[in-house]
């Protein structure tokens, strides 16, 4: 075997590290969690909201519902704000301003999630408690914080999608007498739609998977939420709150919660990949 | 009634700029609030003293050391894997099923939430391999977390090196490996460094992964097998258990400012590289 061939082999093995890690992660999460799902039955696991792990009740319905609601709430804030930011920067701001603002907004991504959670507890939770009632630690607080946290994802991927639309499209539309805004709304946005949808899906993935900030602001109550002011516990919070002391079946149940989360995230990621590829 | 398109445009622009301004305000608010309340407590003593009384008193020195160990370990493990993957993808193979699978793996790995990585690191490294809550378990798990970042940025950086460089090397009779190690990698180095810096930034802020792999012992770890509490985990514990607000703010300020500076430097470096070759 020549030196070149040898190097190529070695590099190939290094290159398998990412897919290999993914396979290992999948394997171990299922290895630890699947026995419990089989033991409890999938239906009792995902369709019951009775979670009393020390007494043998492992129903995570309330957490699934909470995760979905918190994520949807995050989208309500994050998508319009994020899209507005992306459109402003890509279409309506001078090149120089864009070059400063884009990296600045992307800096939001670097702020650790515990810092978002902390500021949520200090500022947002008291505001909700005083002006809207309830304990403050709530579905609403979780949604608002997550909505802010997904902004960098939504903004930066949408900007890339908008920038990828050929300049000719814009020129054609302007030449026909359309205003910049009409061009954006009728020509650029439809052309960039698959990229923007990808941005939104990846934002959702971030929101579903976020843990620390949600634990800090969402209240972690084990009930199906009855209002936006009710405290909720998401799938991620459930794992993080109990993993430290869980053992036996209880620990398995947390890995089983992880399986559900993992499957949701993979579906979101796969659809994002498929949409991007079709473009 | 239809509005004049020019009026609609003015209204739309006003709305877009208001919303963008709001986003910027949130960012500024976060940075200013943490800095104003945190920085006054950041003193030499705070940086270089061990935490006492659960973090109520003393400083954060041991958490800085733990953070440095764990981050360094993660980078040392992930860099060769990530850069190797990038070289393989860009220099050694045509687009085909192999590259597609590798890219797919990296993309999916980037989307795996940190709590899942925490679960994985906990079961494999902490339990099955018996490494316990340790700097080693934490570093190994973080390496997996930052791998996709290093792959993506290194690939971009290597692709940005002009094809002419390679052609010139081959015409001088250099082998492919010589071309890569002597010409392509040095030219791509700023971009690869960017990836590593972004990974450091990501590692500094990570909490969920480390809580379950590196543990939360507030002592300075003496070996790879000791538990180590990083700055982010320390901050989380201070804030969540309401141990000390001033110390929480001060830790957050150090954490946030170092991450922002690292990311800013990484960004500037990448811009410079892209400008040189475009």
Tens digit of pLDDT for each residue in A12-66? 999 999 999 999 999 999 999 999 999 999 989 999 889 998 888 999 999 999 9
Mean predicted confidence (pLDDT) in B202-228: 92
Verify whether the Cβ–Cβ distance A212 to B105 is below 8 Å. Answer: no
**B264 CA: distance to closest CA in chain A (Å):** 8
Q: What is the pLDDT of residue A253?
A: 95
3-state secondary structure of A271: helix
Per-window interface: A 186-205 vs B, CB < 8 A:
202, 205
Determine, yes or no, domain membership for A33: no
pLDDT reported for residue A1: 56
Task: Examine the pLDDT at A267 and tell me if it is beyond 90.
Answer: yes
Does residue B248 surpass a pLDDT of 70? Answer: yes
CATH number, domain at A178?
A: 1.10.3720.10
Decide if A1 is inside a domain.
Answer: no
Q: Are B235 and A118 within 8 A, CB to CB? A: yes
Query: How do strand A57-58 and strand A51-52 relate by DSSP bridges?
Result: antiparallel
Contacts of A180 in chain B (CB under 8 A): 9
Confidence band, pLDDT 50/70/90 cuts, at residue B243: confident
Q: What is the pLDDT of residue A279?
A: 55
pLDDT at B8 over 70: yes
Q: Six-digit token pair at B76?
A: 């040392």
How far apart are the CA of A48 and the nearest CA of chain B, in angstroms? 23
**Calpha distance B253→B55 (Å, rounded):** 16
A219-232: b (≥16 Cβ within 10 Å) or e = bbbbeebeebbbbb
CB contact under 8 A, B112 and A25: yes
Structural domain contains residue A75: yes
Nearest CA to CA, how far is A46 from chain B (Å)? 18
Give the pLDDT of residue B58.
Answer: 83
Question: Do A243 and B122 make contact, defined as CB atoms within 8 angstroms?
Answer: yes
Q: Where are the alpha helices (DSSP H) in A41-150?
A: 42-47, 61-87, 95-107, 113-119, 125-131, 139-149
Which is more confidently placed, A106 or B164? B164
Over 60: is that where the pLDDT of A109 sits? yes
Which residues, 6+ apart, have CB-to-CB distance to A239 below 8 Å? A211, A254, A257, A258, A261, B115, B118, B119
Per cent of chain B over pLDDT 90 is 71
pLDDT at B19 over 80: yes
Angle at A273 between CA B162 and CA A26, to 5 degrees: 110
Six token digits for residue B241? 């258990």
For residue A115, give the nearest of B116, B119, B252 by CB distance: B252
Locus of tokens 């999630």: A113
Determine the residue of chain B that is closest to A79 in CA distance. B19
Q: Work out the average pLDDT over A159-170.
A: 94
Residue A21 lies in a domain: no
The H or E element that residue B52 is part of is strand B51-52
Q: Is residue A44 part of a domain?
A: no
Q: A137 lies in which domain range?
A: 61-278
Residues of B within 8 A of A101 (CB-CB) are 20, 24
User: Average pLDDT in the A121-133 region?
Assistant: 94
Q: Decide if A180 is inside a domain.
A: yes
Residues of A in contact with B248 (CB under 8 A): 118
Contact in structure between A37 and A45 (CB atoms under 8 Å) = yes
A278: confidence class by pLDDT, cuts 50, 70, 90: low
Per-residue pLDDT at A2 exceeds 80: no
Residue range B237-248: mean pLDDT, rounded: 90
Separation CA B144–CA B209 (nearest Å): 11
Number of domains in chain A: 1
Judged by CB atoms closer than 8 Å, whether chains meet at A114 and B232 is answered as yes
Q: Residue A121: helix, strand or coil by DSSP?
A: helix
Q: Could you tell me if B120 and B141 are in contact, meaning their C-beta atoms sit under 8 angstroms apart?
A: yes
* Residue A9 in domain: no
State the pLDDT at residue B1: 60
| Inside any domain, residue A13 | no
- pLDDT of A255 above 80: yes
Of A28, A108, A110, the CB nearest to B120: A28
Q: How far apart are the first and last CA of chain A?
A: 41
Name the strand (E) or helix (H) holding B51. Answer: strand B51-52
């Amino acid at each position: 075997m020549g030196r070149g061939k040898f190097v190529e082999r070695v590099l190939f093995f290094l290159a398998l590290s990412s897919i290999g890690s993914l396979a290992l992660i999948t394997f171990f999460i299922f290895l630890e969690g699947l026995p419990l799902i089989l033991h409890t039955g999938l239906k009792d696991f995902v369709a019951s909201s009775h979670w009393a792990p020390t007494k043998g009740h492992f129903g995570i319905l309330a957490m699934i519902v909470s995760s979905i609601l918190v994520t949807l709430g995050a989208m309500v804030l994050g998508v319009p704000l994020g899209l507005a930011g992306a459109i402003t920067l890509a279409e309506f701001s001078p090149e120089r301003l864009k070059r400063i603002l884009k990296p600045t907004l992307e800096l939001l991504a670097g702020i650790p999630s515990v810092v978002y959670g902390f500021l949520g507890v200090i500022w947002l939770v008291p505001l909700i408690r005083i002006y809207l009632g309830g304990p403050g630690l709530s579905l609403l607080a979780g949604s608002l914080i997550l909505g802010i946290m997904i902004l960098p994802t939504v903004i930066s991927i949408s900007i890339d999608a908008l920038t990828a639309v050929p300049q000719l499209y814009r020129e054609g539309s302007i030449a026909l007498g359309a205003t910049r805004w009409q061009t954006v709304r009728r020509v650029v946005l439809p052309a960039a739609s698959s990229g923007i949808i990808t941005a939104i899906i990846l934002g959702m993935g971030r929101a579903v998977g976020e843990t620390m900030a949600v634990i800090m602001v969402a209240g972690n109550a084990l009930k199906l939420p009855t209002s936006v002011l009710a405290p909720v516990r998401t799938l991620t919070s459930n794992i993080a709150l109990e993993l430290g002391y869980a053992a036996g079946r209880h620990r398995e149940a947390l890995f089983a919660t992880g399986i559900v989360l993992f499957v949701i995230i993979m579906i979101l990621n796969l659809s994002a990949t498929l949409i991007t590829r079709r473009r | 009634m239809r509005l004049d398109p020019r009026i609609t445009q003015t209204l739309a622009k006003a709305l877009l700029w208001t919303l963008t301004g709001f986003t910027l305000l949130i960012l500024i608010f976060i940075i200013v609030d943490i800095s104003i309340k945190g920085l006054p407590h950041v003193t030499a003593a705070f940086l270089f003293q061990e935490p006492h009384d659960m973090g109520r008193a003393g400083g954060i020195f041991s958490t800085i050391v733990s953070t440095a160990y764990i981050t360094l370990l993660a980078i040392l493990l992930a860099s060769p894997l990530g850069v190797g993957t990038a070289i393989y993808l860009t220099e050694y193979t045509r687009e085909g099923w192999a590259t597609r699978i590798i890219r797919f793996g990296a993309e999916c790995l980037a989307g795996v939430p940190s709590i899942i990585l925490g679960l994985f690191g906990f079961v494999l490294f902490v339990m099955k391999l018996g490494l316990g809550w340790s700097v080693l378990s934490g570093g190994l798990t973080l390496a997996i977390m930052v791998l996709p970042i290093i792959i993506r940025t290194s690939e971009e950086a290597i692709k940005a090196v002009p094809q002419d460089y390679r052609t010139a090397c081959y015409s001088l009779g250099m082998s492919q490996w010589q071309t890569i190690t002597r010409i392509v990698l040095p030219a791509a180095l700023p971009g690869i460094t960017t990836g590593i810096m972004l990974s450091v930034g990501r590692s500094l802020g990570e909490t969920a992964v480390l809580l379950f792999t590196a543990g939360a012992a507030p002592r300075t770890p003496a070996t790879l097998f000791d538990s180590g509490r990083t700055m982010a985990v320390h901050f989380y514990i201070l804030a969540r258990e309401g141990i000390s607000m001033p110390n929480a703010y001060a830790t957050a300020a150090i954490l946030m400012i170092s991450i922002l500076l690292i990311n800013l430097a990484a960004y500037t470096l990448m811009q410079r590289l892209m400008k040189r070759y475009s």
